[in-house]
Structure 1
Amino acid sequence: MIQQIARARRGLMVSSAVALAMVVSTPAAAQVDARLERIEAQLRALQRTVFPGGDERFFEPEITPQANNANTPTPGISSSAMTDVLSRISAIESQLARLTASTEVNENALSALTQRVAAMEAARTAAATPNPAPLQTPATGPATTPATQPATTPATTPAPAPSSSQPSGVIAVPGSAETGPSAERLAGVQSIAKPATGDMGEDEYTYGFRLWDAQYYPEAQQQLALFIERYPSHRLISYGRNLLGRAYLDAGDPRSAATHFFENYQSDKQGARAADSLLYLAESMIELEDTRRACIALAEFGDTYPALATGRLQSMYDGLKGRVTCN
């Protein structure tokens, strides 16, 4: 019986060795690993049959229970070259999987970053591209009709604040229709920055005020007329109409100035600058040597605005009364 078992055992070992040789010759690592596992399972099953309970009375088992423990090597048995190769292949595959995952993450992050940079570049290019309106110059004389465009370029390219003094060699009317405005005047007007506060009506008025304050009176007339046309209900409309009259008066055109002062007073007698317009109307009449209308305007002011006649506008009121003799 023991001899039969020994012969069977030797036959199985020979078959296993042949199978192992066939497996080793297979180039595919996956097939090697699968067949080795199957052979090891068969050997363990044979051991349980031949040596039940690990009985060592007949033969010492070549595969012991410790053989399944990778951390406890069996004396006299060393790892084969194929086992080392398979272990190294497994480590390489694990590292390759980690590198593949890291590469995919980096590619996604780089793609998102590229899209963001492209969007920022497009936005910066759009913001840096100006869309200026053409500079409009006034005609040989002051206009009384509203303009359709601002006198200068918009605030997309602001420049330093101008000096309050009028440039040398510049007269009230910029130039004739043949020659046009001088380069010096164009540069001065373009140096006036148009504000951009978010209140478009206030920005238009403030821009006109800056032109008037810099003594560019024809350009201020055009800009203030534009403000009055576009924003007739704005809270600064009384200021705009009054300043438009002053732009004509300071430019040496009291007749046109008187028209705008009278319109501002008549439009809203309780407006913020209605009383001022009434006094400037009297001044315009004095410039035109129309004493009768100047006296009417002064009397109207004294009756309608007694508080201002003794308050904010007292000095101007008294000065104008001293320039004319009213009955």
Structure 2
Amino acid sequence: MKGSIGAERRVRFAGVRLLATCAAASLLVCGAIPTQAQDSTEGRLKKVEAEVRALQRKVFPGGDGTFFEPQIAPPAPTAGTGPQAPTTTPLTDLLGRMDAVEAQMNRLTAQIEQNTNRINQLEARLGSGAAGPVVDGAAPAASAPPPVSASQSNLSAMSGGSSAVQPASVTTTTKAPAAVPSASRLQAVQAIVKPQTGDPGDDEYSYGYRLWEAKFYPEAEQQLKLFLEKYPKHGRASWGRNLLGRAYLDEGNPLEAAKWFVQNYQADKNADRAPDSLLYLAVSMKQLKDTKRACIALAEFSQTYAAEAAGRLKSLYDSTRNGLTCN
């Protein structure tokens, strides 16, 4: 009896142990499932967070941690250094290059415009036969009246400035060719007969005088210049230079006339028409409204040719002085 009771207890104790073991195993198995699920969720969450941070770095470069703390923070400025200059982008580089190209284009455009203006001025001057340098961006200034130079007595004061009158040469052409004369003018000029005497030089001068007397001033100027070229030492040379100045003066060109009057006076102070040229020089200066030089010429005339001033040329001398205030 006792033996059966002990066996029964052992069986019951073993069953209890088996149940306990099963329960424990069941608890272990059941507890492992939530743990594995928790680990999987944590890994997926970390992966998503990493991917979001990577996306943030692309969309918001240099993010300030508003949404997620950046993995690499910008370096803190060191002591003694100012704020870091922002790095340039391809767009700013492109804009800088475009600005440089536009500035270069503006400079080239300005240079082309200046060159075009100079070429146009040069072509215009060449077409008109004018001479002299061309100034940038501006038309050439008109030349000052040529100076009058004199070496004798008080007339030398007339060359004291750059605007004095220089004597003209015989072959110098000072005006553009005249227009083609009309048939009636040619016929009238041809009607004036050229003298035929034993002195060809005097004939040339006399023919110029006849043309001047008939008021054919351009034709007279041409004839008198021809006479002076062919017979520069002729006895009528002083008459020819003086009459050439008279032709220009009567034509309304006192500046050109003054050149010939000065040249004739300086060529020979004792020549036949030297007094006339000096007095007509004063007349030319008066017409040019150059009172100072007109008075100088008058003073020189009255001192050098006192007899002429009181005799043959008195009327012209008085009329020239009239209206002038000379010191």
TM bucket by the smaller chain?
0.3 to 0.5
- Name which one, 1 or 2, has greater alpha-carbon Rg: 2
TM-score (norm 2): 0.46
TM-score (norm 1): 0.46
